[in-house]
Structure 1
Amino acid sequence: MNDLPPALAERAETHLRTLRAAEAVPDEARVAATLPRVLAASDFVACAVGEGDPGLLHDLARSGDLFAPYGAQAYRERLQRRLAEAGDEAGLRAALRRFRRREAVRIAYRSLAGWAALEETLAETSDLAEAAIDASLEWLYAALTARWGTPRDEAGEAQRLVVLGMGKLGGRELNFSSDIDLIFAFPEPGETDAAKPRSNDEFFLKLGRQLIGALSETTPEGQAYRVDMRLRPNGDAGPLALPFASVETYYESQGREWERYALIKARCVGGDYEAGAALLERLRPFVYRRYLDYGTLEQIREMKGMIAREVQRRGTARNIKTGSGGIREVEFVAQAFQLIRGGRDPQLRSRQLLGTLDALEAQQLLPAHAVAELRSAYRFLRRTENAVQMLADEQSHTVPEDPHARARVALGAGYADAEAFEGELERTREQVHSQFQQVFAAPQAEADAGEGSDLQALWSAAPAPEEAVRLLEAQGFDDAEALERRLRGLREGAVVRSLSTRGHQRLDRLMPLLLGACAQARRPARALERTLDLIESIARRTAYLALLVEHPMALSQLVQLCDGSAWVARFLAAHPLLLDELLDPRTLYEPLGREALEADLDARLAALSGDDLEAQMEAVRQFKQANQLKVAAADVSGAAPLMVVSDYLTHIAEVALERSVALCRDHLVRRHGRPLCRDDGEAPREAGFAVAGYGKLGGIELGYSSDLDLVFLHDSRGAEQETEGPRSVDNQVFFARLAQRVVHFLNTVTPGGIVYEVDTRLRPSGNAGLMSTTVDAFRQYQREHAWTWEHQALVRARAVAGDPGPREAFEGVRAEVLGQPRDTAQLREQIRHMRERQRAEKASRGHERFDLKNDRGGLTDIEFIAQYGVLASAHEHPELLRYTDNVRILRTLAQAGWLDERDAHRLASAYRTYRRRLHELALQDEERVVGAEELADERRAVTALWERLMEGAGHRVDVDIAAPRGPGGWGACGS
Structure 2
Amino acid sequence: MTGPGTPFGGRRQGRFSQLARRGFTDPRAASLLLDHEALHPVGDDGVLLDALAATADPDLALAALTRLAEAQPEGDRAVLLDTLLAAKPLRDRLLAVLGASEALGDHLARHPVEWRTLTAFDTADLHPGIEEFTAALAEATDPDSLRVGYRRALLTIAARDMTGTTGFTETAAELADLATATLRAALRIAAAEAPEDAAGCRLAVIGMGKCGGRELNYVSDVDVIFVAEPPEGAAEDTEPAALRAATRLAARMMRICSDTTAEGTIWPVDANLRPEGRNGPLVRTLSSHLAYYHRWAKTWEFQALLKARPMAGDEELGARYAEAVAPLVWGAAERDNFVPDVQRMRRRVEESIPADRVDRELKLGPGGLRDVEFAVQLLQLVHGRTDPALRHASTLDALHALAEGGYIGRKDAASLHDSYEFLRTVEHRIQLYRLRRTHLMPEDEADLRRLGRSLGLTPDPVAEVTAAWRRHTTAVRRLHEKLFYRPLLDAVAGLEGGGVRLAPEAARVRLVALGYADPAAALRHLTALASGVTRKAAIQRTLLPVLLDRFADSADPDAGLLGFRKVSDALGTSPWYLRLLRDEGAAAENLARVLSAGRLAPDLLLRAPEAVALLGDPGGLAPRGATALRQEVLAAVGRADSAEAATVAARGVRRRELFRTAAADIVGAYRPTEAPPGEGQGPALDQVGDALTDINAATLAGALRAAVQARWGDELPTRFAIIAMGRFGGHELGYGSDADVLFVHEAREGADRAEADRAALAVAGELTRLLQLPSGDPPLLIDTALRPEGRGGPLVRALDNYAAYYRRWSLVWESQALLRAQPVAGDPELGERFTALIDPLRYPEAGLSESDVREIRRLKARMEAERLPRGADPTTHTKLGRGGLSDIEWTVQLLQLRHAAELPELRTTRTRRALAAAEAAGLLDAEDAAVLDAAWILASRVRNAVMLVRGRPQDTFPTDPRELAAVARYLGYEPGAARQQDTGSGGQMIDDYRRTTRRARTVVERLFYDGD
Give TM-score scaled by structure 1 length: 0.45
Taking structure 2 as the reference length, the TM-score comes to 0.43
